[in-house]
Amino acid sequence: MSETLAPARSLPLTDLSEDEAMFRDQVRQFAEAEVRPHVAQMDKDAQIPRALVDKCFDLGIMGVEIPEKHGGAGATFFMSVLVVEELARVDASVAVLVDVQNTLVNNALLRWGTEEQQARYFPKLASKWVGAYALSEAGSGSDAFALSCRAHDRGDHYELTGRKLWITNAAEAELFIVMATLDPAKGYKGITSFLVERTFPGFTIGKKEDKLGIRASSTCELILEGVRVPKENVLGEVGKGYKIAIETLNEGRIGIGSQMVGVAQGAFEHGLRYSQERQQFGKPIADFQAVQFLLSELATQIEASRLLTYNAARLRDTGASFIKEAAMAKLFASRTAEEVTSKVIEIYGGYGFTREYPVEKYFRDQKVGQIYEGTTNMQLAVIAKQILGKLP
């Protein structure tokens, strides 16, 4: 059984300008009208319909920061965070499709792409091309720079050989940012970033993972067999791929924080409504103080997660340091999503443990928040380094 929730909800507006609030509301309406009706089927099919992807482009949420001259919205990183949160409130899979496009791919090209690269790819990324970010390999997860994917300088081009794993958006993407080692002797300083198009000879999409959660989001293996990449498709400087990866992932963590806030909020709204409908001992369970206190705790955790995430995004937009704040936002929001989705299942009782109601999906979707863009332990390590490094 699916549930239709009223789109209206209260959010702290003090941190949002009028334009931001209006933009957020437009995305919320889109999520309710265009995404929610398909959530259960997308989860079952493990696929986002291309028609829905196209609607994301039509709304302008696939190119939030892309300059207007290239067909984008010319908005802020904070706007991207609002988009991801609102989409995740309804479906985490669509949210991560849009998140990777904006906070990783578009963001990296905006910061390190040449004018020629931006002019070539931004119009497509704003209108029809999905992007993907290819760093992870079988032997390089948290140890992100233990890369075996190799790049060879062939004079007028580079040749890439290797495999990438767990690449989000891989099934839909036309453009991939691929990290490969050009000079293994230099360690992480030998890593370079390349802009690889899906149609480049030798490049193929491999196995699609059958996942616990965010099932509609594609997660695939990439196979590179002597992929010929033009010299002009190096992103940033040769040997600076590690810098691009680190700095992009720092920003990507804010996006995942917003995704987890949205997941927690969406689950909470279901739980809040059901607590007022479910009758036990002759009255709604929301009348029991234990349930009221539980809802209060969950609402507080969500609000704290939201403010941590918004703060990190605001800092990023002002050019201030945000590394610690981004790690804190992802850490806290992912833990909050786990707690909220678990407790909401308990509010539903036996129904919450079935697929007849939507809350079990929120529980499945949240778990990846503690894994991708850096595991929980990696966030703790980042935070520790930041706070210990600033001791007097």
Active site residues per annotation? 373
Specify which residues 230 forms β-bridges with. Answer: 157
User: Cα separation of 328 and 386, whole Å?
Assistant: 11
CA distances 368 to 93, 215, 257, 332, 365, Å, are 11, 11, 11, 14, 7
Going by C-beta distance under 8 Å and a sequence separation of 6 or more, which residues neighbour residue 342?
363
Please, how many CA atoms are within 13 Å of residue 361, restricted to the half-sphere of its CB?
Answer: 26
Two tokens at 62? 């696939």
Specify which residues 224 forms β-bridges with. Answer: 162, 203
CA geometry: angle at 237 spanning 325 and 244, to 5°? 20
Contact 244, 236 (CB under 8 A): yes
Contact 205, 144 (CB under 8 A): no
User: Cα separation of 260 and 254, whole Å?
Assistant: 10
Two tokens at 382? 């980042």
Rounded to an integer, what is the distance from CA 325 to the centroid of its chain?
17
Contact 117, 292 (CB under 8 A): no
